[in-house]
């Protein structure tokens, strides 16, 4: 099925075995992909479901059969990302979606200089949908409304105890994230101690000392991503790449 194109469909577009395509989806199938009525493609609902479908032309598509795939990371990963300037967060959304992030929380920390508009949030969600389709994800990552760091602290009580929390700090004598992830593996190097991960990535200029201290008070482990100082756009991708490598290493 890898050669077939994929489109994310909202749940309200399903009507038994029929799918009502939006105008944008019709344009994408017919004008961009050059599909013809009767051609097959894959629809995904963003919650783990994949189906083989036939485009009937216009807004109509028919579901043929479900497709079993398992392309998600073995452990859900939430990223708190202090928003960079310019279009940097768009790059973060695209690349971390490809890498398998489950939830992205835009953070306004002490050194954040960007206050995003509602239009930005809608654009980020479109980018995540496109990246999920391209990378054959089963799940569309959730992108929340931006939160201040104080609001983010308050959400931690909803996370439960089985969350492994790390805050990435550019300078300081902290263990490498890779070593922490490897140490959390169980048994003969298989499985993982926690039910989910939360990674906090700072802005240009890094987290302030009070922010790091507050994170430690809230049971975050401060970690390093290496000897070099990474851009705020690069750091989330490095952190998530390490998580993907460790969590999937038993699959290969």
Please give the distance of CA 84 from its chain centroid, rounded to a whole number: 17
Largest CA distance in the chain: 61
For the beta carbon of residue 55, count every other beta carbon within 10 angstroms.
Answer: 25
Q: What is each CA distance from 140 to 148, 162, 242, 246, in whole angstroms?
A: 24, 23, 21, 22
Cα four-point dihedral sign 66, 69, 74, 76:
negative
Q: What is each CA distance from 228 to 170, 209, 238, in whole angstroms?
A: 8, 19, 12
Query: pLDDT tens-digit profile of 48-98?
Result: 788 899 999 888 999 998 888 788 898 999 999 999 988 899 999 999 999
Summary mean pLDDT of the chain: 89
Query: pLDDT tens-digit profile of 225-251?
Result: 999 999 999 999 999 999 999 988 876
pLDDT at 238: 97
The pairing of strands 163-168 and 196-201 is: parallel
Name the burial class of residue 59, with classes exposed (0-12), middle (13-18) and buried (19+) by CB atoms within 10 angstroms of its CB. Answer: middle
């Amino acid at each position: 099925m890898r050669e077939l194109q994929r489109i994310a469909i909202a749940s309200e577009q399903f009507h038994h075995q029929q799918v009502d395509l939006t105008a944008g989806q019709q344009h994408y199938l017919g004008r961009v992909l050059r599909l013809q009525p009767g051609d097959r493609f894959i629809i995904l609902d963003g919650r783990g479901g994949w189906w083989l479908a036939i485009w009937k032309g216009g807004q109509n598509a028919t579901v043929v059969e479900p497709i079993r795939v398992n392309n998600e990371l073995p452990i859900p990963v939430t990223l708190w990302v202090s928003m960079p300037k310019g279009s940097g967060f768009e790059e973060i959304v695209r690349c971390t979606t490809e890498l398998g992030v489950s939830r992205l929380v835009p953070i306004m920390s002490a050194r954040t200089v960007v206050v995003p508009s509602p239009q930005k949030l809608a654009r980020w969600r479109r980018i995540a949908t496109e990246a999920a389709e391209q990378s054959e994800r089963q799940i569309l990552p959730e992108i929340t409304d931006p939160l201040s760091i104080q609001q983010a602290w308050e959400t931690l009580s909803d996370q439960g105890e089985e969350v492994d929390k790390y805050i990435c700090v550019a300078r300081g004598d902290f263990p490498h994230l890779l070593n922490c992830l490897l140490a959390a593996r169980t048994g003969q190097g298989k499985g993982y101690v926690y039910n989910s991960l939360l990674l906090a990535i700072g802005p240009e200029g890094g987290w302030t000392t009070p922010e790091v201290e507050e994170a430690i008070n809230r049971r975050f482990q401060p970690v390093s991503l290496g000897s070099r100082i990474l851009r705020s756009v690069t750091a989330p991708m490095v952190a998530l790449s390490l998580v993907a490598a460790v969590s999937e290493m038993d699959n290969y």
